[in-house]
Structure 1
Amino acid sequence: MTTSEPEASRSAGGPTPDSLLHARTGTEVAPEDLVMATGRDVTPKTLEWARRKLAAEGPAAMDKLLP
């Protein structure tokens, strides 16, 4: 490991802490972000799907897609 890696990301042979596995930064999730996280193309149809999903689930919709 290089010295530029944060101390918290270094493993002592154990599992990676859960707090380091999550990708979401706590910022707002845009419908485009949700569509791209699924690997789909950004189209009017997929954007509408993402808007409905975000309205129903909020930012947790992204947490369900990404670790």
Structure 2
Amino acid sequence: MTDELRPPLEESDAVADAIEDDVAVDAFITGGGTDRDNPEFLPPGQEPAWRTGADQPWDPEDLAVAEGRDPTPENVARARKELEEDGPAAIERTVP
């Protein structure tokens, strides 16, 4: 049966039975946790705990590879200079 011919889920027998029996319908169960459709809202004034790519230590070799470059001595030297000059901002540009 194609989606065009299938009635909406709300009109299915399973939903009618669930309403009548007060039973959960599998298609409506989300797992109970937060997700894209059920976000967690923070109280006013509370800041979220963001984790970024710069929260962990980075070697120049890692930065060169993350930028899509081979870890050649030239690319590693350029990445080392970038890390020394820009610090975490060098990583944030590549791995936000």
The answer to whether TM tops 0.5 is: yes
Question: Which protein has the bigger helix share?
Answer: 1
Structure 2: which 5+ runs fail to align?
1-29, 40-47
Structure 1: which 5+ runs fail to align?
none
What is the CA-CA distance between 1:13 and the residue it aligns to?
6.9
- Does structure 1 residue 35 correspond to structure 2 residue 60? no
**Larger RCO, structures 1/2 (Cα 8 Å, 6+ apart):** 1
- Does structure 1 residue 53 correspond to structure 2 residue 78? no
Does the Cα contact within 8 Å between 2:61 and 2:79 map onto a contact in 1?
yes
- Alignment length (residue pairs): 58
- The structure with the largest alpha-carbon Rg is 2
Pick from 36, 58, 82 the counterpart of residue 11 of structure 1: 36
What TM-score comes out, normalization by structure 1 length? Answer: 0.66
Cα distance in structure 2, aligned partners of 1:51 and 1:25: 15
What TM-score comes out, normalization by structure 2 length? Answer: 0.48
The residue that corresponds to 2:95 in the other structure is 66
Does the Cα contact within 8 Å between 1:28 and 1:59 map onto a contact in 2?
no
